[in-house]
């Protein structure tokens, strides 16, 4: 399993944000890979992360979900993967003291590449489904809490996220989110 720090366009590392690429064993029967190993993961993040909730979403092509995050006392880290289809997954650094504050990273996660992204607390998260259908699984480090859930606009000009295609389907909630300059963290 290869676990790498992710860098922004300026070459600065997003502290704590990790891209996980498994070692895949293929043969005529199919494939096998270790999708998660607590010991390896905790060693890389230098912390003992206890996942408390698994989420599973299905989406059709053009669905954009996000950009969501949770604040204290229930901030969430997320370990995200796509088990069917393909998504463009985005994380935005909202940690005010970070040298990458306001920067974003986008990675393609798919059934075929089997990559995962670890998005620590302090990042907003969203994704756009780019295949006809997609199933996304993600583990969270804390429980969902309605009062702690916050969001920012997916099309915020300050962020200037380069989505691979225009979204076609957004929830009513995601259509009416605040911009980064008005975010609450």
Active site amino acids? 68, 138
Residues contacting 125, CB < 8 A, separation 6+: 66, 67, 68, 69, 78, 80, 89, 90, 91, 92, 119
| Measured distance CA(103)–CA(9) in Å, rounded | 9
- For residues 17 and 122, give the distance between their C-alpha atoms in angstroms, rounded to a whole number: 10
10 Å CB burial of residue 36 (0-12, 13-18, 19+) is: middle
How far apart, in whole angstroms, are the C-alpha atoms of residue 73 and residue 144?
11
Longest CA span, the chain: 54
Rounded distance between C-alpha atoms, residue 82 and residue 131, angstroms: 11
What is d(CA 103, CA 68) in angstroms, rounded to the nearest whole number? 15
């Amino acid at each position: 399993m290869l676990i790498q720090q992710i860098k922004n366009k300026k070459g600065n590392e997003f502290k704590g944000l990790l891209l996980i690429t498994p070692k895949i064993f293929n043969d005529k029967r199919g494939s096998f890979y270790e999708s998660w190993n607590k010991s390896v993961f905790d060693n890389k993040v230098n912390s003992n992360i206890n996942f408390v909730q698994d989420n599973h979403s299905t989406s059709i092509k053009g669905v954009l979900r996000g950009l969501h995050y949770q604040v204290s006392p229930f901030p969430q880290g997320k370990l995200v993967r796509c088990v069917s289809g393909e998504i463009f997954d985005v994380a935005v650094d909202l940690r005010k003291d970070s040298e990458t504050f306001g920067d974003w990273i986008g990675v393609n996660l798919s059934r075929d590449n089997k990559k995962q992204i670890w998005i620590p607390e302090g990042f907003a998260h969203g994704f756009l489904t780019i295949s006809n259908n997609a199933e996304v699984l993600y583990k969270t480090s804390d429980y969902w809490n309605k009062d702690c859930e916050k969001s920012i606009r997916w099309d915020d000009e300050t962020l200037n996220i380069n989505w691979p295609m225009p979204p076609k389907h957004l929830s009513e909630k995601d259509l009416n989110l605040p911009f980064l300059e008005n975010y609450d963290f």
